[in-house]
């Protein structure tokens, strides 16, 4: 990227959030299961909220304090399983695994972008967005484990 200008960073983040929203909504069109569609629409909605927040942040200066990172558990499932290709009729577990990989990549993108910025507001915003993407990854990996390892009666 080569710039530490907060406006440029925020504009790039807005673009990435729109790309993520579009990816999930395109995936909704090719998956069959209602649960998977609902999960993808949920995560797309989260990406849309991020974009809206970033636009407001850019245009109105909401301040870095408006983003509040929390504690997130990284199960590292996406790091240990290969991402499936998006295709019609995907199994529900594969939909979640694909989404977990997408969120992992977004998390890594924002972390690497933050790493090249000096301490300050831009770096703090990028690290907070990275944490949000990790939360999405956590949710998708949770859905994945529930779909891939179905609990049977009595066990």
Instruction: Tell me the DSSP string of the chain.
Output: -----HHHHHHHHHHHHHHHHHHHHHHHHH---HHHHHHHHHHHHHHHHHHHHHHHHHHH---GGG----------HHHHSPPPPP-TT--HHHHHHHHHHHHHHHHHHHHHHHHTSPTTHHHHHHHHHHHHHHHHHHHHHHHHHHHHSPPPTT-
In a domain, 81, yes or no: yes
In a domain, 134, yes or no: yes
- If you average pLDDT over every residue of the chain, what do you get? 88
- pLDDT band with cut points at 50, 70 and 90 for residue 7: confident
Number of structural domains in the chain: 1
**CA–CA separation, 150 and 155 (whole Å):** 10
Contact 144, 27 (CB under 8 A): no
- pLDDT band with cut points at 50, 70 and 90 for residue 34: very high
* Percentage with pLDDT > 70 across the chain: 90
In a domain, 1, yes or no: no
Residue of 1, 4, 40 lying closest to 125 (CA atoms)? 4
pLDDT in tens, 95-153: 999 999 999 999 999 999 999 989 988 888 889 899 999 999 999 999 999 999 887 77
Give the chain's radius of gyration (CA, Å): 16
In a domain, 155, yes or no: no
Contact 62, 56 (CB under 8 A): yes
- pLDDT band with cut points at 50, 70 and 90 for residue 1: very low
In a domain, 63, yes or no: yes
* Mean pLDDT of the region 41-70: 79
Domain containing 98 equals 6-148
In a domain, 19, yes or no: yes
In a domain, 153, yes or no: no
Domain at 29, CATH number = 1.20.1260.10
- Does pLDDT of 69 surpass 80? no
pLDDT at residue 22 in the model? 97
In a domain, 135, yes or no: yes
């Amino acid at each position: 990227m080569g710039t530490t200008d907060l406006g440029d960073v925020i504009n790039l983040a807005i673009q990435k959030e729109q790309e993520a929203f579009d990816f999930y909504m395109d995936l909704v069109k090719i998956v069959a299961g209602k649960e998977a569609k609902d999960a993808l629409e949920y995560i797309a909605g989260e990406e849309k909220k991020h974009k809206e927040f970033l636009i407001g942040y850019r245009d109105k200066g909401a301040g870095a304090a408006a983003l509040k990172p929390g504690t997130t558990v990284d199960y590292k499932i996406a790091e240990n399983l290969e991402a499936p290709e998006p295709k019609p009729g995907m199994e529900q577990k594969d939909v979640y695994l694909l989404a977990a990989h997408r969120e992992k990549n977004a998390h890594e993108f924002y972390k690497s972008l933050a790493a090249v910025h000096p301490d300050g507001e831009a770096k703090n915003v990028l690290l907070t967005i990275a944490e949000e993407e990790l939360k999405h990854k956590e949710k998708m990996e949770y859905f994945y484990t529930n779909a891939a390892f179905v609990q049977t009666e009595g066990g």
